[in-house]
Structure 1
Amino acid sequence: MTIYRFLTGPDDASFCHRVTEALSKGWSLYGSPSLTFDAAQGRSICGQAITKDVFGVAYDKDMKLGEQ
């Protein structure tokens, strides 16, 4: 089964650390990152899709994808 997540957050070091942590746990980048500007908060927001192939696990809508 392939699982999918979309990480979002302010364009800062903490976002980069979240993506790096996911990559170190076997996730792969999926597509290009996205960037938008939140005018209300005056900051840029990043987004990055990631996927991971897991074996021996059946999909369940209640599963916590980040824990796979």
Structure 2
Amino acid sequence: MAHQPPNGLPRYRVLTGPDDEAFCRRVSEALDLGFSLHGGPAITFNGERVIVAQALTWPDSEE
């Protein structure tokens, strides 16, 4: 595993958005790049839609 994430991405990211296929694809793409889930998703309702947030971290090269 590379020491740093690709494309200049930060080691810690929080993806947010409506709970839909596009959000799930964004999380899946981050996992495919090598990021790991950091805890479970946070979920809320904004009065119209369910909104989710998922934290991701880049694994330490020392692991």
TM-score (norm 1): 0.70
Root-mean-square deviation over aligned CA pairs: 1.9
1:52 counterpart residue number: 58
Unaligned runs of 5+ in 2: 5-10
Q: Percent of aligned pairs with the same residue? A: 51
2:29 counterpart residue number: 21
Q: Tell me which protein shows more strand as a share of its residues.
A: 1
Which amino acid in the other structure matches residue 46 of structure 1? V
TM-score (norm 2): 0.76
Deviating beyond 4 angstroms after TM superposition, the runs of 4 or more aligned structure 1 residues are: none
Aligned residues: 53
In 1, distance between residues paired with 2:30 and 2:59?
A: 13
